[in-house]
Amino acid sequence: MLFRQAISRRIFELCELYKYTPNKLAEMSGIPPTTLQDMVSEKVANPSSFVIYKICKTLKIEIKDFYNSDLFKLDNLDD
């Protein structure tokens, strides 16, 4: 799986867990909806660390918790 796919899946997982739509998450975090939509549509190959930070801050989770998923195990990711 590509890194951008893992990011997309993780955002969807967190949205489901916290009962937010991606648009609601974007609105609450101050991220332009098009930015988050591009991330979940896997159009962004290298997502901004600041966007990930804003997602985490909105969800009140640590950045390490965003990446604490089997999706990000090196054996599961392709270049």
Give the pLDDT confidence of 4-45 residue by residue, as tens digits.
999 999 999 999 999 999 999 999 999 999 999 999 999 988
b/e burial code for range 65-75 (CB count within 10 A of at least 16 → b): ebeeeebeeee
pTM of the model: 0.91
Give the pLDDT confidence of 40-60 residue by residue, as tens digits.
999 988 889 999 999 999 999
Q: What is the CA radius of gyration of the chain?
A: 12
Please, what are the domains in the chain?
A: 3-68 (1.10.260.40)
